Each structure stands twice: as structure tokens, then as C-alpha cells.
Amino acid sequence: MKKVDQMDKFTEYVMHEAGLEKPSKSFVSNIMSKVQEQPKFVAKPAELISATIWWIIGFAFTALCIYLVLNWQDRILSKYSNVFDDYIISMDVVYNGFQGIQFSNTFIWSFLLFGVLLFVQAGIIKNYSNKKLSN
Amino acid sequence: MNQTDAYYIERILKGDVNAYTSLVEKYQHMVYTLAMRMLKSKEKAEEVSQDAFVKAYTNLDSFQGKAKFSTWLYKIVYFGCLDELKKTKRSFNPEDIEKVPNIELDNTKSGLERLEDADRSQLIKDAIAKLNEDEQVILTLFYFEEQSLKELSQILDMTPNNVKVKLFRARKKMAELLKNVIEPNTLNAI
């Protein structure tokens, strides 16, 4: 182990004595002139709504849909259980069944809040566009 | 003011081409040294290292920042040099290092120290040039850039263990090469 350490220190000394090579004086300018010929990178605008927020919105919307579907299904099943039991399903019955459905408070509030969410997003987008245009 | 590589990369990706000058200035010596040690020709080393810098620039948007920028850049240089060596059909020249005997390092070092600066530097450069390409790259990056074995393995596309073995062999070989040349040179200098 001592021999390896000695070898390590010796090589370090030798390598630093050798130093680094120096390129020509025009080295950097040559590279930069070639680089200038390449297409420029274009800055990408920052995302208005991050991926995480989109996931949260998606999850909340899906949860809402599932809740509503289950809620409706329960109502339809309880109201027309005899129809499903006898396997006599006609378009008229389904149509009439929907006519009897009343929207619950939960649904109405959810719908309203979703509308507010869309409205806020529209506001953010408008604000962002205004800033972009004024720059 | 010294900024991190990430700062310059961000500026370049936003369209500020001139920010690349800072990165070129920072890494020019190491990139050129690596190319010079592998290709042993000033003209080719300059051409390959310039191409490496341009290639790094054009692919900068694919640099994910998982490794250091320098590691990524040196990898481009290393493979650029290998391609150049393939074109000129020069091959690696690994020597049988297992035959290297034990060396009295203190004697070799004191012999080197007795030489004039310029002579010493040239002598060492000549010895380095006798190592094979991989060994030169490993020693240069390990002792100048203090790259870890893991980073070296990323640059050279080898396992860290393989790099470790090569590093050990390169040290032994370097000591042997210098021992062989230092004795007659030291005698002439005294």
C-alpha cells in the first residue's frame, strides 16, 4: 500500500511538471467563428402550468367524473331496479330515466368551480401574452 | 466573475452564443492536451479539439446535466481522437507492463529535480508520449482534473475497475520509463 501511495505521489509530481499543452493563439476565435455559423438555440418559453399541476387537475377531474357516474348509477339502479332485473331495457325507458335525474348540489358546485378554474387559467394566459408582447 | 458551467449552458440554450467563449476558454488547455497526447501532432490535435468543441456546442441541447459538462466534453474529445487514429490506421500500442520491475522512486525524483526546468518538462513529456493513448488520457485527467474513477469510466466507456487497473499500470510504466531516461540525462547535467 505504501508503494502504491509513493507511486501515486510520484506520478502526480511528474504530471504537474509536464504541465498542459497550449493551443495556438487563434484557437478560441477559430472555434467561435465555427460556432457562429451553427444555428442559434432558441429559448423555449417557460410552461404556464407545470406538469404536476396538470396531473392534479387531471386527477381531480377524473375523481369528479367517477363520483358522478357512481352517483348516477346508484340512482338509476334504485329507480329502475325492476327494469334491470327483468332485462327489459328499451331506449324509451333510458330516455325517461334521464329526464327524471336532478343535479345534486355537489355536481353544481363542481361544475361551477371547474368554470372558475378555466377562467383563472384564461386570465393567466392573457397576462403572460401581454407581458410577451410588451417585451 | 467565475460562474458555473450550468450558468453558461443555460445562457447558450437561451440563444447567447457568446457565452460559449467562457466554456471554450476554460477547457481549451485540457481538451487540447488530451488531443495532443493521443494524436501526437499539433495540427491534428488542434483540428480534433476544435471539432470537439463545435460538436459539443451543436449537441448542447441533448446534454442532460447528469454528468459534469467537462466529463461529457472529454468524452467527445476522446472518441474524436479515436476516430482520427482509426483514419490514420494507427493502433494502440499496449506494452507488457507486468514485466516492469520495482523502481526506487526517490532516486528518479531527485534525478529529475537536478535537471533544468525546460529539460525536465521535455523529458517527462517524452516519457508520457511513450505511454499508450488510454494511459495518457487517464493520467492527465486523473492528476489535472481530479476526475474520479467513475467519471473516467464514463469518458472512456470502461468499467471503473478497468480504469483503476489501467491507472495503476500507467503509474508503474511511467516510473519505469523515467528511470530509464533519467540516469544518463542526470549524469550529463551534473
Q: What is the dihedral of CA B126, B128, B129, B133, to 10 degrees?
A: 180
Inter-chain contact B124–A6, Cβ cutoff 8 Å?
no
Q: Is A32 on the interface with B (CB under 8 A)?
A: yes
- Burial readout A20-43 (b: 16 or more C-beta within 10 A, e: otherwise): bbebeeebbebbbeebeeeeebee
Inter-chain contact A10–B60, Cβ cutoff 8 Å?
no
Inter-chain contact A15–B61, Cβ cutoff 8 Å?
no
What per-residue confidence (pLDDT) applies to B101? 46
Inter-chain contact B15–A19, Cβ cutoff 8 Å?
no
Q: How far apart are CA A90 and CA A114, in angstroms?
A: 34
Q: Choose the closest CB to A42 out of B15, B18, B168.
A: B15
Q: How far apart are CA B146 and CA B132, in angstroms?
A: 20
Amino acid B80 reads G
Inter-chain contact B144–A22, Cβ cutoff 8 Å?
no
Which chain A residue is nearest to residue B14, measuring alpha carbons?
A43
- Burial readout A113-128 (b: 16 or more C-beta within 10 A, e: otherwise): eeeeeeeeeeeeeeee
Contacts of B46 (CB under 8 A, 6+ apart): A23, A24, A27, B32, B35
Q: Write out residues 67-96 of A within 8 Å (CB-CB) of B.
A: none
Inter-chain contact B178–A14, Cβ cutoff 8 Å?
yes
What per-residue confidence (pLDDT) applies to B56? 93
What per-residue confidence (pLDDT) applies to A108? 78
Q: How far apart are CA B53 and CA B25, in angstroms?
A: 11
Inter-chain contact A43–B15, Cβ cutoff 8 Å?
yes
Closest CA of chain A from B49, distance in Å: 9
- For residue B53, what is its C-alpha cell? 468543441
* Mean model confidence pLDDT for chain B: 80
Q: Is A5 on the interface with B (CB under 8 A)?
A: no
Q: Choose the closest CB to B139 out of A15, A36, A42.
A: A15
Residue B51: pLDDT above 90? yes
Write out pLDDT tens, residues B67-102.
889 999 999 999 999 999 888 765 544 444 444 445
Interface contacts A/B by beta carbons within 8 Å? 105
What per-residue confidence (pLDDT) applies to A81? 62
Task: Between A10 and B1, name the one with better pLDDT.
Answer: A10
Tell me the torsion sign for CA atoms A22, B21, B82, B150.
positive
Which chain A residue is nearest to residue B33, measuring alpha carbons?
A21
DSSP 8-state class, residue B131: S
Provide the residue-wise pLDDT of chain A in tens; the chain has 135 residues.
Answer: 566 777 788 888 888 888 888 898 889 999 999 988 888 887 766 677 778 888 998 888 888 778 777 776 666 666 666 655 555 555 566 566 666 667 777 887 888 888 888 888 887 887 887 777 665
Inter-chain contact A41–B12, Cβ cutoff 8 Å?
yes
Task: Between A88 and B45, name the one with better pLDDT.
Answer: B45
Let me know how long chain B is: 190
Which chain B residue is nearest to residue A6, measuring alpha carbons?
B105
